[in-house]
A and B are shown apart, each in its own frame.
Chain A
């Protein structure tokens, strides 16, 4: 079975542009989460979606938005890119949305460079 897939793998943008990142969860998984990992740091939580509804949002500005589609795939959008948005963007999926957390499976990430 395929794991979590993300596209594109790498992306170069300039300041002020907009970017869309895509994630396909493991087949049967209904929860998708997004994380930002800056070099040398641990990943930071951005969004969680379950059954197409936003279940959580981290401490990120409104320039960041996301959505989940009926097939449970997800998009992360970032507007008005800043140099500080350069990072590895990771997507994670799990089957459900247990209150105490269930095993998260991560994709390979999208490396975004903002010039």
Chain B
């Protein structure tokens, strides 16, 4: 069974600092991996999909890396802003469109 872990559960950073969010998964035979953002009480917003054959994917201030051999993905958010405050979820595909999620990193960016 694929298990996804995100540590720490919560973190606070001052505005302008770079954010580094880590995700680990138990089964390295994953397919693709997707990062999401969730605001309180809301649905999930897709941030990035990184394919299993890729090492990195970038979108604006966001950069995601994937190291299948070590079972890790990292999401970098450059120059954090208060609007980046949210919960960030990592999810791995384990067959077709089925996702296994971590519990998320709850981020607060302090102005």
A interface, CB within 8 angstroms of B: 4, 31, 33, 35, 40-45, 48, 50, 55-56, 58, 88, 90, 92, 94, 97-109, 111
What 5 additional pairs, Cβ within 8 angstroms, besides A101-B31, A101-B93? A40-B103, A56-B96, A56-B98, A101-B99, A106-B45
- Chain B 23-56 per-residue mask, 1 if CB under 8 angstroms from chain A, else 0: 0000000011010100001111110010110000
A42-B102, A42-B104, A56-B95 given; A101·B34 CB < 8 A: yes
- Do B46 and A109 have beta carbons less than 8 Å apart? no
B interface residues with partner A (beta carbon < 8 Å): 4, 31-32, 34, 36, 41-46, 49, 51-52, 89, 91, 93, 95-104
Residues of B within 8 A of A58 (CB): 98
Interface pair B46/A103, CB less than 8 Å apart: yes
- A108 partner residues in chain B, CB cutoff 8 A: 42-43
CA distance A43 to B100 in the complex (A): 8
Q: How many inter-chain residue pairs (CB < 8 Å) link A and B? A: 87
Give B49's nearest chain A residue, CB to CB: A103
Across the interface, which residues of B come within 8 angstroms of A101, CB to CB?
A: 31-32, 34, 49, 93, 96-99
Name 28 A/B residue pairs within 8 A (Cβ), A-sorted: A31-B97, A35-B99, A42-B102, A42-B103, A43-B89, A45-B98, A45-B100, A48-B96, A48-B97, A48-B98, A56-B97, A56-B98, A88-B41, A90-B43, A92-B97, A100-B31, A101-B32, A101-B93, A101-B96, A101-B98, A102-B32, A102-B49, A104-B97, A106-B36, A106-B44, A107-B43, A108-B42, A109-B43
